[in-house]
Structures are given as structure tokens and as C-alpha cells.
Structure 1
Amino acid sequence: MSESFTPQISDRICRHMNEDHAEAIVLYAKVFGHVTAATAAEMVAIDAQGMDLLTQVDGTPTPTRIVFDHVLQDAEDAHHTLIDMVKQARQSGK
């Protein structure tokens, strides 16, 4: 089994997502967080139940919590879940 969730794993995932997948985070905010006016977003935390984003709406930071459709087992599960979610978000056409 992969690593279980720790603050260090959350930080690592958030740093990677913010640095390499900023457009995916905006999609998460729009599609799963229902913040359709989001112009930017940052992942600030992730845990087994969901992720916390800070979205920008008209220049105003807006905290957004997105709950996963299942409890994540580990970092590998988070990786696969985030990929599946971005694919689903892109298919939604937002």
C-alpha cells in the first residue's frame, strides 16, 4: 500500500498541483465546487475526504471545499482520483 495521508503528503500534492496543473484546479472549482465564475484557483489542502481550494472570483479569494465521491485510501488513490476528476471536468465542457 502507498503512503497514508499526512500533512507532508497534502503539502506535496498541493505544491505539485499548483505548480504543474493550475488549469485543472480551476476546472475542479468550476465543475465540482460550482464556482463557475472562478478565474484562478489554488489547492491549499487535500485529505482523504476532499480538497480545499482558494478560488478567485472577481479578484476576491473564495474558500471552496470539494468532497470526493469516496474516501481516499492513500496518495496513489488521490493521484488517480484527481486525474479522473479532471477528465470528467473536461468532458463536462466548462
Structure 2
Amino acid sequence: MSEPITPTISTRICTHMNDDHAEAVLLYAKTFGNTPEATAAQMVAIDPQGMDLSAQIDDTTRPLRIEFDRPLKDAEDAHHTLIEMLKQVRQK
């Protein structure tokens, strides 16, 4: 059984995504956050309903909330959902 998405798990996921998958986080901001002009983005938090990003647009940092299409069950579900979202972006 996977771990529930607690604040500690959220921090772990965000750190991993920002350190190892910055390009994917930027693609989430551009596509799902409707900010194609973003030049950088960071994942700030994730919970069962969605994720909070911080997007860099010109000289401004803008907060973004991206809702998931369904509530996530746990950290493993978050992992699979983020991968599926990235696949959707790359297929376009």
C-alpha cells in the first residue's frame, strides 16, 4: 500500500520533481496552467485534488493551481497521474 499524500509526502514529491523533472513541471505550467509564456516553474505543493506551481513569466512569479481530473488516492497514484499528464502533453 502506498503512502497518503501528507504535507511531508508533498514536500518529497515537489523536491523530486523540481530537482529531477524541472522540464516536466514547466510543461505542466505551460499546458495545464494555461501559461504558454512561462520560462520556468516549480512545484510548490501537491494534494489529492491538485498541485500548486509557481511559474516565472517575464520578471513576474505567478502562482498556478492545477486541478486533477479526479482525487488522487495516494503517493503512488500521484506518480502515475503526473506521468500520464506528461504523456498527454507530449502527444499533442
Aligned match of 2:23: 23
- TM-score, structure 2 normalization: 0.98
Give, in angstroms, the shift of residue 48 of structure 1. Answer: 0.2
Aligned match of 2:6: 6
Structure 2: state its 5+ residue gaps: none
Identity %: 67
> What RMSD, in angstroms, separates the aligned Cα atoms of the two structures?
0.6
Structure 1: state its 5+ residue gaps: none
Residues 25-58 of structure 1: per-residue CA shift (max 9 Å, x gap): 0100111110110000000000000000000001
Matched position secondary structure for 2:16: helix
Matched position secondary structure for 1:28: helix
Aligned match of 1:65: 65
Give, in angstroms, the shift of residue 59 of structure 1. Answer: 2.2
Aligned match of 1:56: 56
Which of structure 1's runs of 4+ aligned residues deviate more than 4 A? none
Give, in angstroms, the shift of residue 5 of structure 1. Answer: 1.2
Q: Distance in 2 between matches of 1:36 and 1:43?
A: 16
1:32 correspondence with 2:39: no
Residues 9-29 of structure 1: per-residue CA shift (max 9 Å, x gap): 000000000000000001001
